[in-house]
Amino acid sequence: MQVCQANNVKVYNLSLGKSLPEWLSDRKKRALQKSDRDLQHRIQLIQDFEMPSVSNSVQITADSQFILATGTYKPRVRCFEVTQLSMKFERCFDSEVVKFHVLSEDYSKIVFLQCDRYIEFHARYGRYHRLRIPKFGRDMAYHEPSCDLYVVGSSPEVYRLNLEQGRFLSPFVTEASGINACTVNPAHHLLALGTLEGRVECWDPRSRRQAAILDCALSSITMETQVKGMPSVSSLKFKDGLQMAVGTSTGQVLIYDLRSDKPLLVKDHHYGLPIKAVDFHPQAGMVVSTDSKAVRIWDLQTSKAFTAIEPEHDINDMCLVPSSGLILTANETPKLGVYFIPSLGPAPKWCAFLDNLTEELEDSTNSTIYDDYKFVTKAELENLGLTHLIGTGLLRAYMHGYFIDIRLYHKAKAIADPFAYEEYRKNKIRQKIEEARESRVKLKKLPKVNAALASKLQEQQEQDQTSKVKREKKAEADGILQDNRFADLFKNPEFEVDESSEAFRMLHPVITKQQKQQQKAAQKRAMLQQFDELKGEEEEEGRPSEDESSSDDDDQSWRLELRKQHQMLRDERKAQAAAEWSAPKFYELKKGEEFSSEKGMRKMSKRQIGTSLAARVALEEEQGEVKQVGSSIGNQQLTFSLKKGATETKFKQDTVEHHRERKKLRRSAGHLQGKSKGKPFNR
């Protein structure tokens, strides 16, 4: 059993419980039920309340003693007796059942409409008669005063089969191209037909004429339905002689009064799926409507949602047990859904024990896998060392892995990782210690990552909530510190704020200004409190406040600090560029160093450091020394000497000749200076 709360209303799912694998035999299942404690304590409201694969429809008899359900495969019907909480009988068909109707108060007279146009009549002992209709049928209704069975389908005719005479009567011809649903009013026996065109045609069986037409499509058209097309009527249900519920193919439920052509209420499921069934709960004043996704329970007067049931599988049909809070559903799954809502009504008499057991046996855990078997992948099998079991009966292949017995899995896990339990035990002890520490006096504990940011946010949380801005900052701080989406901001080192980065330093003056403003505001509050305590006088009129007088100074200081940061960043860039430019390249020699032999480098005097290579060679020749330029890597040496006189004499001769040529070409302008003094030029 599982309990869930939708709109603060508890809904107990009695059909959900521990399930067994399908490949187990009946003998093993019975053995597990005897030995397994969980299976013994499982709440099984009705024994074997399921179908082999899928259930199509479910109904309860008029005396509320029998529940009938149809399903596949093979097509069949099962009858469950509620007094015995078990299945009474099971019958199979040749084709799938579309709709069925109980003609008597118990299960003794039942009629089934099948998908191959056949209608079967069953008595207490079995099938009584079988006949065929001209067109495919979709719904049936029984008119008890005249013993007429109305069958509607993919044609405009309403076939009438008189069960007293045992023959077909002339059909009703409607204005529709097809009819999806039909029902008979229990008070005045008016026949209502839901058509493909979105209309409800009402026929009087006494006069065999059309009484009225109600257009429901125009009242249920929305922006979504315009895209999907014209809505059609998918289900009908009468509450009494006047009120009627109409379900459409676009997911709306319309409540009508037969005296008006406008709906009293329109309830939208917001799924855009056809309404499968609609029913009234008169004791609670609720309407229960269902589509393939959810069963919605809402108020009849205000259309306010009461609660909803959303199973994992699609819903095919729904049945409300009269005068109770028990709802039965036929689903696209073997198990039929059983839901109990205590707020909607009490439990039926045949299961009155639910009122006491629901609260005591409440179990909120929902197992999505077999409890006695563990699903493992091939990689996990390799880690456990159980790959040699592939192909044996100990592993059951399923999709991309295998099912293994949970006991074998625990043994293999203990062998493969013997210290797993110790780690689990240590983690549990650590959690209990931390829980015990929470009750003690808490100190401010800052994280290792972004500690300054965390401290600032904690200070914002502790601030006074007098102004709107502070309340917004406090809410923002609460969201960052308590939201799990920002947890990595204080745990992952990759998210740490780098205060030495250029972007942070550019924003630093702004942050400093904010901090200064906060400090000044705190100082101002303290000074005002002291001033009020000492003098209790008001501020003089016309005198500017402290904030107004100091706002210009704050802006100017902020600009100066921002310029200072810009200048510091520019200086750092220049220094870094100069260091990169002055760094020695791999092909250059450092200052004061030169190649020498392997014996060592001879120190040069201070006079030789600034001279050129030619001057140093000439000086060494004068001193009688020979300059050797070698490599410290090898023993190769180079000796050279300069020829005196020839090069120097030629250079002097070339210089003298050059000056002589320039003197010939140069013209003096001294005569122009003397003549032009005091005399303007003639133009």
Per-residue model confidence as pLDDT tens digits over 550-567: 455 656 666 777 777 777
pLDDT computed for residue 143 by the predictor? 92
In terms of domains, do 98 and 129 share one?
yes
Length of the chain as a residue count:
683
In terms of domains, do 338 and 417 share one?
no
Residue 305 belongs to domain with CATH number: 2.130.10.10
Residue 11 has pLDDT above 90, yes or no: no
Which DSSP helix (H) or strand (E) runs through 555? helix 546-582
Does 90 map to a domain? yes
The residues pairing with 597 across neighbouring beta strands, listed in sequence order, are: 600
Instruction: Using a pLDDT cut of 90, give the percent of the chain over it.
Output: 27
In terms of domains, do 274 and 398 share one?
no
| Domain count for the chain | 3
Does 408 map to a domain? yes
Highest mean pLDDT pick, 430-439, 606-615, 618-627? 430-439
**Amino acid symbol at 25:** S
Averaged pLDDT, 378-387: 87
Could you give the CA distance from residue 194 to residue 269 in angstroms, rounded to a whole number? Answer: 19
Give residue-wise pLDDT tens across range 632-671: 444 555 555 555 555 667 788 888 888 888 887 776 666 6
Does 97 map to a domain? yes
Pair of tokens at residue 677: 């003094």
pLDDT band at 596 (very low <50, low <70, confident <90, very high): very low
pLDDT computed for residue 633 by the predictor? 45
Averaged pLDDT, 211-221: 82
Averaged pLDDT, 432-455: 70
In terms of domains, do 386 and 465 share one?
no
Does 483 map to a domain? yes
- Provide the strand spans (E) within 551-642: 629-630, 637-638
Q: CA dist 126 to 390, 505, 511, Å?
A: 49, 90, 88
In terms of domains, do 381 and 297 share one?
no
Pair of tokens at residue 13: 């799912």
In terms of domains, do 379 and 490 share one?
no
**Amino acid symbol at 48:** D
Selected residue with higher pLDDT from 342 and 7: 342
pLDDT band at 190 (very low <50, low <70, confident <90, very high): very high
Range of the domain at 490: 452-519
Does 95 map to a domain? yes
In terms of domains, do 396 and 248 share one?
no
Residue 88 has pLDDT above 60, yes or no: yes
In terms of domains, do 45 and 192 share one?
yes
- The residue from 519, 541, 563 where one domain ends is 519
- The residue from 311, 329, 360 where one domain ends is 360
pLDDT band at 466 (very low <50, low <70, confident <90, very high): low
Which DSSP helix (H) or strand (E) runs through 98? strand 97-102
pLDDT computed for residue 439 by the predictor? 63
In terms of domains, do 31 and 161 share one?
yes
Q: Is the dihedral of CA 24, 25, 31, 37 positive or negative?
A: positive
pLDDT computed for residue 542 by the predictor? 43
pLDDT band at 401 (very low <50, low <70, confident <90, very high): confident
Could you give the CA distance from residue 448 to residue 454 in angstroms, rounded to a whole number? Answer: 10
Mapped onto helix, strand or coil, the DSSP state of residue 73 is: coil
- Residue written as tokens 């899995």? 409
Selected residue with higher pLDDT from 591 and 116: 116
In terms of domains, do 226 and 257 share one?
yes
In terms of domains, do 60 and 129 share one?
yes
Does 598 map to a domain? no
Averaged pLDDT, 357-361: 62
Does 626 map to a domain? no
Residue 468 has pLDDT above 90, yes or no: no
Selected residue with higher pLDDT from 244 and 608: 244
Which DSSP helix (H) or strand (E) runs through 236? strand 233-238
Nearest CA to 389 out of 308, 356, 380 is that of 380
Averaged pLDDT, 502-515: 63
Mapped onto helix, strand or coil, the DSSP state of residue 230 is: coil
- Residue written as tokens 């082999």? 52
pLDDT computed for residue 256 by the predictor? 92
pLDDT computed for residue 669 by the predictor? 64
Pair of tokens at residue 359: 């609260």
In terms of domains, do 302 and 169 share one?
yes
Highest mean pLDDT pick, 15-19, 154-158, 346-350, 673-677? 154-158
Averaged pLDDT, 422-449: 74
- The residue from 484, 501, 519 where one domain ends is 519
Give residue-wise pLDDT tens across range 229-240: 678 999 999 998
Average pLDDT, the chain: 77
Report pTM: 0.53
Residue 96 has pLDDT above 60, yes or no: yes
- Give the least confident one: 170-184, 341-355, 528-542: 528-542
Give residue-wise pLDDT tens across range 275-286: 999 999 998 899
Does 387 map to a domain? yes
Residues whose CB is less than 8 angstroms from the CB of residue 679 and which lie 6 or more positions away in sequence, other chains included: none
pLDDT band at 48 (very low <50, low <70, confident <90, very high): confident
Residue 55 has pLDDT above 60, yes or no: yes
Could you give the CA distance from residue 627 to residue 640 in angstroms, rounded to a whole number? Answer: 8
pLDDT computed for residue 600 by the predictor? 42
pLDDT computed for residue 451 by the predictor? 76
The string of DSSP letters for 465-513 reads: --SHHHHHHHHHHHHHHH-GGGGGGGT-GGG---TTSHHHHHHHHHHHH
